[in-house]
Amino acid sequence: MADFSDTIAVCPGTYDPVTEGHLDIIRRATCLFSRVVVGVAAVSPRKDTLFSAPERVTFLRGSLGETIEVDVFDTLLVDFARKWDARALVKGLRAISDFEYEFQMAQLNRKLASDIETVYLMASPEYSFLSSSGVKEIARFGGNVNDLVPPEVARRLAELFQ
């Protein structure tokens, strides 16, 4: 077998904004792989982002500490993974949320780069209902999102929608 002492994993996403559910997946990934890089998609394939890419990166860095890299990408995800020598992509599955989209992207990514594997972790039950868009919808109407996102994100959302 090859030397696996340095399997690198990428946790990709739009993180618009990062939620406690995202952080849970990223932290669990660090228990499995020797190094984890959070990849922030500069643009969302399906809709405009509320926060700029640098803002989304700042939220992640503020929540994750210095041992986890955070990097923006505006390329194919597999090209981003190769840039970091990553052999694994790590995604969370919330029940079957996004399952269809993830399933298709996993197979497409293997077609594009058969040496990179996508691995899935089941969302923790307490975050299984949590999404960035749900958070934004609540914040838009002045609801309390303190348990759902890091404090800095909650503060910015309150500023934006007050």
Half-sphere exposure for 58 (CA within 13 Å, toward CB): 9
- In the residue annotation, 111 being an active-site residue is answered as no
Round to whole Å and give the CA distance between 24 and 123: 8
Which x/- pattern, by CB under 8 A, does the window 121-150 give for a copy of itself? xx-xxx-xxxx--x--xx--xxxx--xx--
The residues in 31-60 that bind a copy of itself, with binding defined as CB under 8 A, are: 31-35, 45
Task: Enumerate the β-bridge partners of residue 91.
Answer: 120
Q: Which residue, 32 or 155, has its beta carbon nearer to a copy of itself? A: 32
Q: Which residue, 129 or 155, has its beta carbon nearer to a copy of itself? A: 129
Q: Does 103 bind a copy of itself (CB under 8 A)?
A: yes
- In the residue annotation, 22 being an active-site residue is answered as yes
The residue from 22, 56, 87, 156 that is catalytic is 22
Measured CA angle at 118 (ends 111, 39), to 5 deg: 105
Round to whole Å and give the CA distance between 110 and 78: 9
Residues near a copy of itself (CB under 8 A), total: 60
The residue from 63, 91, 132, 136 that is catalytic is 132
- In the residue annotation, 47 being an active-site residue is answered as yes
In DSSP notation, 4-72 reads -TT-EEEEEE--TT--HHHHHHHHHHHTTSSEEEEEEESS-SSS--SS-HHHHHHHHHHHH-TTSEEEE
- In the residue annotation, 94 being an active-site residue is answered as yes
Q: Does 162 bind a copy of itself (CB under 8 A)?
A: no
Q: Which residue do the tokens 């982002």 mark?
A: 49
Q: Please check whether residue 20 is in contact with residue 148, taking contact to mean a CB–CB distance below 8 angstroms.
A: yes
Residue from 82, 97, 158, 161 touching a copy of itself (CB under 8 A): that is 97
Tell me which residues touch a copy of itself (CB under 8 A).
1, 4-7, 28, 30-35, 45, 67, 74-76, 78-79, 87-88, 93-97, 99-100, 103-108, 110-112, 115, 117-122, 124-126, 128-131, 134, 137-138, 141-144, 147-148
